[in-house]
Each structure stands twice: as C-alpha cells, then as structure tokens.
Amino acid sequence: MPNLTEPKLISGNANRTLANAIARRMSMHRGMTVGLLDARVERFNDQEVFVEVYENVRGEDMFIIQPTSNPANDNLMELLIMSDALKRSSAQRTTAVIPYFGYARQDRRTKARTPISAKLVANLIVESGIERVLTMDLHAAQIQGFFDIPVDNLYASPIFALDLKHQFGDRMDQITVVSPDVGGVGRARELAKRIGAALAIVDKRREKPGEVAEMTVIGDVQDRICIVVDDICDTAGTLCKAAEVIKEAGASEVHAYITHGVLSGPAVERVSKSMLKSLVITDTIEPTAQVLNATNIRIVPTAPIFAQAILNIWNGTSVSSLFDHGTLSAIYEGLY
C-alpha cells in the first residue's frame, strides 16, 4: 500500500545540482514544494565525515541522493553515514539514489589475488541500513545480485533515443549505433532497437590494461552517422581511438552517447581534439567547469526520470514503466 507520509529527500555533497533538480521536478509532479532536507554533511579537520539532520524524520520515507563519483571514497562514506544517521533517527525506510555507482568496474576477479570491490560496497550499503537502491546503467547488470535488497536499475537508452530523434530528425535513417567493444553490444543493441537503426561493433584487443593495441570495425559504417554508445567514459582514450577508427572506415560523422561522464585526467582535452563531432553525457556525475566549457560536450538531464522513479517507489507503482517511450516522452515533455 502507498505510504501516507511524503517522500523526503536528502543529499550529500557529490552532486547537489542534480539533487536540487530532482526536488524541483518532484515539486512539479506533486503540486507542492518538495525540498532537500535541512542537514549538514561536513568534514572534521582530519577529514572524517560528519552528518547532522536538523528535521524530524521519524517514520518518514527517505531518499538519499548521492552518486559515488570522484572522490569515490569520500562520497561513499557520506552515503553510508547519512544512512546510519537516518536509521538511528527512526526513518521508516531509506532508499539510496545512486545515479552513478562507483566501484562497479570491479565486479569480478580478473586475475589471482584481486578483490570484487563492487560486492564489498554492496555489503557496506546494506549494512548501513539502506533498504532499497535506485541507480542508472550499472556497469554490469549482475551487480544487482550483489545486494540482498531490491535494486532498481534505470537505463539511459530511452533518454538517448529521445535526444537522438530531436537532434537528427529526418536523418534518423542514416544512423548506425556502434558498440565500442564486444561487452557493450547489449547496450548498443537496445538503443538501436529503440530508434530502428543498424548496429556495428568495434573489436579491440589490449596488450595491457589501459592500452588498446588494435581496433577493427565489424559492420558497415560507410557514409553513416555513427553513434558510439557506452556506460562510462573515464580518460576517453578508447573512445577517441574508436572514433578515429570508425571515421577511417568511412563514417560521415561520429558522435558518442555515454551515460556516466567520469572524464578524468586528459579526457576533456582528448575529446576536444578528437574525431568526435559531439559527446553527449548525462548529469549523473557533477560536471566540472572544464566539461561545461567544452564546445563539443553536451549534457542531457536525468532529473525527470529520477524524480518519477522516486515517486513510483514511494507510491508502490512500477519503475520499469519508465522504460516505455510513451511514458518517458510525457516525463520529458518540454525538453524534447
């Protein structure tokens, strides 16, 4: 049954811009002001995290908005300590809204004597008192099984499909969706299916981690508008190399749609000088000034889908309904 209390939002310091945007969208849907809980999330001089909540949360349905992006360890500790504070303050239920789930790339043992850090982080989240997780585009879908609590994994592909139709209009029949590696074919196929596009793959072979030795395009990209799709762009080395290889294979334009723009180190400079005509990312990670000022990087909002997902969880209604084109189009009405 739906809860009688109102959903309450609290945010750490990882991405307050997104948290405020989610609160504004929820206010529009509810027809009443939904604000972030009055609280402070600060550091002591030795960098220990301290949380103090100034409002009563007894019996409330709480949603902590906190991606575990750079600095991943600090933001993760903020999430855990906020959860503990709410649990000890008798909140009825606490849901962690983690737009970007850090440590997701460490989801299996690739060699001897290495950790499965994603599982460890899942254990920490559950032990802190969180009862549900809402996230977007987990690096590996099986990470949902690392949790002993419900996990709702939203997808960026429906949002990307709306954006592509808005940006390319009558040129949609010229688009080919490209997966930058074999492991991402499922994600690329999902987007290609949504927009009725052809599919291609970039096969890459590594000599050692972080270095790509050889890339080959599998599929016809001649005179096509190629859309490279992936979940994470970190240093952008692989992405920019893939764009170069696709362009050499005859593509007329190369664009990239990436869910989580980590964009660390030389990433923005590489993208600016690359063969990419545009890089589109979401705001699951707070963009830096360098990202905002880049001429060929564009950001699409996730606040509308997260706001509706939070309301659906609070109401006890379907979250998967948000993957439907008609439903999402209504949520993003006015933006596309």
pLDDT at 284 over 90: yes
Q: DSSP string of 216-260?
A: EEES--TT-EEEEEEEEESS-HHHHHHHHHHHHTT-SEEEEEEEE
On average, the pLDDT of the chain sits at 94
Please state whether 71 falls in left (phi above 0), alpha (psi between -120 and 50) or beta.
beta
pLDDT, tens digit, for every residue of 317-335? 999 999 998 899 999 987 8
pLDDT of residue 68: 98
Percent helix, strand and coil across the chain, each rounded to 5? 40, 25, 35
Count of other CB atoms within 10 angstroms of residue 35: 12
Q: Do domains 7-155+303-331 and 157-300 have the same CATH topology?
A: yes
Q: Is 235 annotated as ligand-binding? A: yes
pLDDT of residue 213: 64
The Cα–Cα gap between 56 and 28 comes to 24
Paired sense of beta strands 253-261 and 39-43, if any = unpaired
Q: Is 307 annotated as ligand-binding? A: no
Q: Is 48 annotated as ligand-binding? A: yes
Residue boundaries of the structural domains of the chain: 7-155+303-331, 157-300
Q: Is the bond preceding residue 304 a cis peptide, omega within 30 degrees?
A: no
Q: Is 220 annotated as ligand-binding? A: no
Architecture label for domain 157-300: 3-Layer(aba) Sandwich (3.40)
pLDDT, tens digit, for every residue of 198-207? 999 998 776 6
Q: What are phi and psi of 8, to 5 degrees?
A: -115, 135
Tokens 């545009």 — which residue? 278
Q: Report, as an integer, the average pLDDT of 145-167.
A: 96
Architecture label for domain 7-155+303-331: 3-Layer(aba) Sandwich (3.40)
pLDDT band at 115 (very low <50, low <70, confident <90, very high): very high
Of 64, 69, 60, nearest in space to 51 by CA = 64
Q: What are phi and psi of 101, to 5 degrees?
A: -95, 105
pLDDT, tens digit, for every residue of 225-262? 999 999 999 999 999 999 999 999 999 999 999 999 99
Whether 224 and 252 have beta carbons less than 8 Å apart is answered as yes
pLDDT of residue 262: 97
Catalytic site positions: 204
pLDDT of residue 183: 86
pLDDT, tens digit, for every residue of 204-223? 776 665 565 689 999 999 99
**Beta strands, E only, 14-117:** 39-43, 49-53, 61-65, 93-98
